[in-house]
Amino acid sequence: MKIFRIEIDKDRIFGLDILRSLAILFVVVEHGKYLLPKKMRQINDLIVFDGVSIFFVLSGFLIGGILLRTLENRGMSVGVLMDFWIRRWFRTIPNYFLILTLLVTLQILFGSGFFSGSFYQYFYFSQCLISPHPAFFPEAWSLCVEEWFYLVTPIAIFIVAFAANGKHRIGIASTAAFIIILVTFFRFYKFTIVPIENFHDWDKLFRKQVITRLDSLMFGVVGAYLNFYHRDLWLKRKHITFACGLSLMLATKYIFPMISSETGVYNTVFSFSLVSLSTLLVLPFLNSIKAGKGLIAKLFTYISLISYSMYLLNLSIVQYWIIGKIPWTFFISNSYLLVITKYLFYWISVLSLSILLYKYFEIKMTKCRDMFNPIRNKLTVSKKN
């Protein structure tokens, strides 16, 4: 149908679309397990990888690449920094604020046990900066990590590059290495002083806090640095690094958890680093796949385009406020049929609503970033003159 038709840009990198679409599918499948019986959830866990960590590295790679090209082409200035932020925030914040406002409104009007009036923290991404994420809009934790990355990384790079006499390469490499090392040491320090008794402690105290996850995106920045400044090295062994990355990803999923506890030092401190490293290693090969053909290729690209909308909609909106509020047993009495119906409805709702949100809101708001960007408009005028 025309209402669901999306135009696909020919300049997209198909290999990265594959990675992004797999990441969001892992996330949606993981969240969808709550609609399944307990026995099926165990099977679900076997096939799902850490989609959010994959997203982090991919975001770091893409945004790091944009930042690198911007610095090399336009140099360092407050105007360049503001332009970078405005363009990033018009891409991510309108969608987030729309869903957040809708959820807050629904919670106030129809919810019970409202979250102590702390919803304001969600509007400036401080709800899990150094503390556990509240129960409300639980999937928003990863957006906090991303937005703080967008804010902190360019400033740090500018400061280091300025101290290095304007050498962008030093600023980027030093910032990425410093944050990776610092966050890893912080996780280890926190592991030694904070009691972790079960998976939920690990999840809320380590996995879902900004201060313990910023390094994941920096692995992507390292990839952007290598791709930009050492491209021959980046591509030279792309098939070998892809095989190593895939092997490491499988090991972090199936082997390492068997020889370590979920509250031990590996899972708490180093698992995030290894998953990020495995994603970094597959990037050279995937980034070299420029185009795909056929229906499967179009499907990967399609899902990649709507991935951000899928992330925002699948859990709190679709699963809680739509599926959770329908009196299913009034229509369906058979328990097996009920599970199948709810699960299919979940996927149909996520995909269809995500397409609509992407096509009729996300794209339009992204196009507005030049219109409401006085810095870029000023730079454009100065170039014409």
Question: Do residues 280 and 248 lie in contact, with contact meaning Cβ atoms separated by under 8 Å?
Answer: no
Could you give the angle at the alpha carbon of 86 between the alpha carbons of 82 and 87, nearest 5°?
120
Alpha helices in the chain (DSSP H): 14-32, 38-47, 51-74, 78-110, 120-123, 141-163, 168-193, 199-202, 210-229, 231-236, 238-250, 265, 271-287, 294-305, 307-313, 328-331, 335-357, 363-371, 374-384
Report residue 28 as tokens. Answer: 């949606």
Query: Which residue type, as a one-letter code, is found at position 2?
Result: K
Could you give the angle at the alpha carbon of 201 between the alpha carbons of 51 and 214, nearest 5°?
45
Query: In angstroms, rounded to a whole number, what is the distance separating the alpha carbons of residues 27 and 48?
Result: 8
pTM greater than 0.75: yes
Query: In angstroms, rounded to a whole number, what is the distance separating the alpha carbons of residues 196 and 266?
Result: 13
Q: Which residues contact 220 (CB under 8 A, 6 or more apart)?
A: 56, 57, 58, 59, 60, 61, 62, 63, 64, 276, 279, 280, 283
| Residue 43 CA neighbour count, 13 Å, CB half | 5
CA quadruple 157, 158, 163, 167: dihedral, nearest 10: 80
Distance of CA 25 to the CA centre of its chain: 12
Query: In angstroms, rounded to a whole number, what is the distance separating the alpha carbons of residues 94 and 361?
Result: 8
pLDDT given at position 168: 82
> What is residue 358's DSSP assignment?
I
Quick one: which of 103, 107, 110 has its CA closest to 140? 103
Residues of the chain falling short of pLDDT 50: 381-385
pLDDT given at position 242: 98
Report residue 226 as tokens. Answer: 């290598």
Q: Which residues contact 243 (CB under 8 A, 6 or more apart)?
A: none
Task: Considering only CA atoms, give the Rg of the chain.
Answer: 21
